Amino acid sequence: MKAEHLLAQLREQYKEWEDDKDSIEYQALFHAFCFVSYKMGDFQKYLDEVTKKGKKDGE
User: Which pLDDT score, from 0 to 100, does residue 58 have?
Assistant: 63
CA atoms within 13 A on the CB side of 13: 17
pLDDT digits (tens, 9 = 90+) for 32-53: 999 999 999 999 999 999 999 8
User: Which pLDDT score, from 0 to 100, does residue 55 have?
Assistant: 78
User: Which pLDDT score, from 0 to 100, does residue 59 have?
Assistant: 54
- Contact in structure between 30 and 20 (CB atoms under 8 Å): no
Rounded CA separation 46/7 (Å): 14
Q: Cα dist. 8→1, 33, 53, 59 in Å?
A: 13, 9, 24, 30
